[in-house]
Amino acid sequence: MSNGTYKRTKMSYEGQMLEQLKMPTRQQVEEALLRALLIHGGVIKEFSAGQEIVDEMANEFELNDQQRSAFLETVYRKENRVKKSLLWHRLLFRAADSLAKDKLVSRPTQTFQLTKKNEWMLTEKGYDEALKISNIPNSKKESLPTKSYEVQKIVKKLVEASRPEHYDPFDKRKKRNKTIKESALRTRGFRQAIIEAYNYKCAICGLKINSPDFLSWEIEAAHIVPHRYLGRDDIWNGLALCRLHHWAFDVGWFTMRNDYSINVSSKVRLLQPDYGKIYDHEVLNALSQNRKRLILPADRQLFPHQNALEWHRKNVFHQ
């Protein structure tokens, strides 16, 4: 619009306040929200007083006291009363609402149906956009602890499925019927479900650590029946393991008995004296002491299935 006077007279009460107080633009807030979502694991709570994210974002924009505390007064005709709402909250809400309209985030009501939490959550589309504006390569998606609506749907399905008595750890249809995008989502769903179930800890040694920027976890989601043998991408065929123990499990240095105690290969005796040590700690021998058990999820339904473990004992483990 070229006519400034016309624009001013047409501008809403809210618009005028935003301009007077030199508040950030909605576009700027939208981008900042996407970056914040990435840092907060893909979810942020609804905006209300006392929510950390509200102050965090205000700090990012270096808002002054006046900008933080300005409120709008709206008259509720029906009830004949004046409702006050913080201008900053409104701006955050409108930016999030606009992201939801563009399908970059799910709305709190929508997310609630999935996680029972009222949060804004990144969608896959929003995730890609957030990575782009944060200059993080898309390949990082695999290792970031960031939730997306689509992946969360898979996680929910995996953790809520009822534990089968007769479990077949092989998915014979795995290679067919799936597009690359579908299987990438499925892989991330599997990973997310496993590492959450095991609380980001190695099931063998309990190691829990993330990167200094908090963006990536060391923990890996291991298949018991490996992917290359068409092992299923589900909770009962998975374990959360640190990299060292993931490798040692995959090459058959140890396995688990039916009571989830750890069984170490007898071949450990044949190792060179200086092998398998971190300083004085003997990495494999330590596991065979005191019939050590796996560190398992809180929910028994999520424990690895005996059929998968049995396969590992017979086909991977070196007695």
Phi, psi of 272 (to 5 degrees): -60, 145
Cα–Cα dist 274/248, whole Å: 17
Q: At what angle do helices 26-39 and 52-60 cross, to 10 degrees?
A: 120
> Applying CB under 5 A, which of residues 144, 204, 235, 256 lies at the interface with Zn ion?
204
CB of 303 to Zn ion, least distance (A): 18
> Which residue is associated with the tokens 């007898």?
266
Whole-number minimum distance, CB 246 to Zn ion, in Å?
8
What's the CA gap between 42 and 264, in Å, rounded? 39
Residues 136-175 that bind Zn ion (CB under 5 A): none
Of 44-52, 58-66, 73-81, 197-205, the segment contacting Zn ion by CB under 5 A is 197-205
Q: With respect to Zn ion, which residue has the nearer C-beta, 245 or 312?
A: 245
Judged by CB under 5 A, the residue of 90, 188, 245, 312 near Zn ion is 245
The smaller minimum CB distance to Zn ion, of residues 154 and 240, is found at: 240
| Cross-strand bridge partners of residue 170 | 231
Of 122, 202, 248, 308, the residue at the interface with Zn ion (CB under 5 A) is 202
Residue 242 as a binder of Zn ion (CB under 5 A): the answer is yes
Burial (CB < 10 A; 0-12, 13-18, 19+), residue 186, is: middle
Using the minimum distance from each CB to Zn ion, give the nearer residue, 230 or 295.
Answer: 295
> Which is closer to Zn ion, CB of 207 or CB of 271?
207
In the bound complex, what is the minimum distance in angstroms from residue 198's beta carbon to Zn ion? 11
The minimum distance between CB 205 and Zn ion, in angstroms, equals 3
Strands (E), the chain: 43-45, 71-76, 81-86, 105-106, 119-122, 220-223, 238-241, 254-256, 262-264, 277-278, 281-282
Question: Shortest gap between Cβ of 276 and Zn ion (angstroms)?
Answer: 14
Minimum Å gap between C-beta 45 and Zn ion is: 33
For the CA atoms of 221, 34, 32, 23, the dihedral, rounded to the nearest 10 degrees, stands at -150
Q: Which of 205, 215, 283, 295 binds Zn ion (CB under 5 A)?
A: 205
Among 70, 84, 74, 86, smallest CA distance to 21 is for 70
Q: How far is the CB of 201 from Zn ion (least distance, A)?
A: 8
Nearest Cα neighbor of 213 from 296, 142, 287, 144 is: 144
Q: State how far the alpha carbon of 108 is from the alpha carbons of 46, 70, 296, 316, in Å.
A: 7, 25, 31, 45
How does DSSP classify residue 41? T
Choose between 39 and 244: whose C-beta lies nearer to Zn ion.
Answer: 244
User: 264, 285 in Cβ contact below 8 A?
Assistant: yes
283 binds Zn ion (CB under 5 A): no
**Binding-site size, Zn ion (CB under 5 A):** 6
Residue 89 or 292 having the CB closest to Zn ion: 292
From residue 55 to residue 94, the character string flagging contacts with Zn ion as x (rule: CB under 5 A) and all else as - is ----------------------------------------
Stretch that binds Zn ion, among 187-195, 241-249, 276-284, 304-312 (CB under 5 A): 241-249
Min dist CB 273 to Zn ion, Å, is 23
Residues near Zn ion (CB under 5 A) are 202, 204-205, 207, 242, 245
